[in-house]
Chains A and B, each alone.
Chain A
Amino acid sequence: MLAASGKLDRRELTRALLTDRGDMLVIAGLGAPAWDITAIGDCAENLPLWGGMGGAAMIGLGLALAQPKRKVLVITGDGEMLMGIGALATIAVQKPANLSIVVQDNEHYGETGMQETATRHGVDLVMMAKGAGITNTMFVTKPDEVPALHKAIHAGNGPFFAVAKIDATSKPLVLPPREGALLQARMREAVMGPAAHHQL
């Protein structure tokens, strides 16, 4: 699970988190997290984002509030989380027990030429989440911590927030469908069945 740099390999981390996922719904932030969940296996319970930077955690909140009995996982990058950092406050106040957020932190904007993000310069997203009032958090750097991370995102003791420091190397592109209406409709059907398309 470790890259040559000694940091976690993002694809192997994603694979570990999504193993035995059950009916968990997964939102992936734009860029590499979306390619990562698609590389592990595209399915109706995945919503890989192509845009809306800064919105991944809030989409997770709306979904978690709408479906309180289903586990919801947001996997996103450090740049995407930083752009919507106020969401941590909004989520902390709502306290959705079924929502987990995992930031795959490579300390760079990976899709635009690997420019450094604020986390490269010491900004601590776990501390920011704690400051917002999210008490259930993890900071993960080693493979032997990943089983506990997997357990935490399935435990339903949310809101749960974790940062996993990952190797910055870009992986081969594995692109999900680009038709947003399809991505939305398939998840709605996975949640509600065919009635999703006949709602008045």
Chain B
Amino acid sequence: MDQHSIDKAPDAAADWPDQIYSLLKTHNITQVALVPDAGHSRLIRRCLADNEMTVVTLTTEEEGIALLQGAWLGGAKGVLLMQSSGVGNCINMLSLSIMHRCPLPMLVTMRGDFGEFNPAQVPMGNATQTVLEAMGTLVHRADTPEDIAPTVNATIRLAFNTFRPTATLIGQRVLGAKTFGKD
């Protein structure tokens, strides 16, 4: 990752992004909708390299809710990857998943959460779980590397077994927050 980037990617030694990729394969996820986040950068690279997956880079996260509604109508399973700020862009579109009982697993990397540097990230980061739950999403957090895979697995299973939006919030504590030497 670019050292001048303001986002922080997982350490090269961390294998939880690869564990998430394996889970996507296990659950036959074929549509991966995303607005990029540094926290998901390794997972995104794995998905892009997989010819059985269609990676759809969105102009705004709410497009992903609609995309995966269409995927499910056609019998395909998808997942939405985004940063916590993107959750705010999804609010009304989540009504699609509730109304139609469409499985919708979301994997959200948190900002504004634990040691954040950027004040603009805090309002939405602070509201992410509340907003998702207000829109009927079942939310689980993962704040340690070893907790990510089991939580993501539960989030995917809960979505496709019980037909609803679900989310794993991957805490900023896992990724760490940049401070730019200003701490």
Contact = CB atoms under 8 A, between A and B. Distances in A.
B181 interface: no
B76 A66 contact: yes
A61 B93 contact: no
Contacts of A50: 99
B73 A59 contact: yes
B69 A196 contact: no
Contact of A63 (B54, B73, B98): B73
B70 A62 contact: yes
Interface stretch (A6-14, A84-92, A106-114): A84-92
Interface string B81-120: 0000000000011011011111000000000000000000
B66 A90 contact: no
Given A52-B93, A62-B31, A89 B74 contact: no
B71 A63 contact: yes
B60 to A, nearest CB: 6
Given A55-B93, A90-B57, A188 B63 contact: no
A174 to B, nearest CB: 20
Contacts of B96: 49, 51-52, 55, 59
A181 B70 contact: no
A94 interface: yes
B73 A66 contact: yes
A51 B95 contact: yes
B66 A180 contact: no
> In the complex, which range does the number of interface residues on chain B fall in?
20 to 34
A65 interface: yes
A62 B57 contact: no
A58 B66 contact: yes
B100 to A, nearest CB: 4
Interface residues of A, number: 40
A181 B128 CA distance: 27
A67 interface: yes
Contacts of B16: none
B58 A90 contact: yes
Kindly name the residue among B56, B74, B96 whose own CB sees the greatest number of chain A CB atoms within 10 A: B74
A99 B56 CA distance: 15
Contacts of A184: 72-73, 100-102
A62 B59 contact: no
Interface string A59-96: 11111111100100000000000001011011001100
A182 to B, nearest CB: 9
Contacts of A196: 75
Contacts of A54: 62, 66, 93
A32 interface: no
Given A58-B70, A62-B66, A188-B72, 7 more contacts: A51-B92, A56-B66, A62-B74, A65-B70, A66-B72, A86-B59, A188-B73
28 contacts: A25-B73, A49-B96, A52-B66, A52-B95, A53-B92, A54-B62, A56-B66, A58-B64, A61-B56, A61-B70, A62-B73, A64-B70, A64-B74, A65-B56, A65-B70, A65-B71, A66-B31, A66-B70, A66-B76, A70-B74, A84-B63, A86-B60, A87-B59, A90-B57, A90-B63, A90-B67, A191-B74, A192-B75
Interface of A: 25, 27, 47, 49-67, 70, 84, 86-87, 89-90, 93-94, 180-181, 183-184, 187-188, 191-192, 196, 199
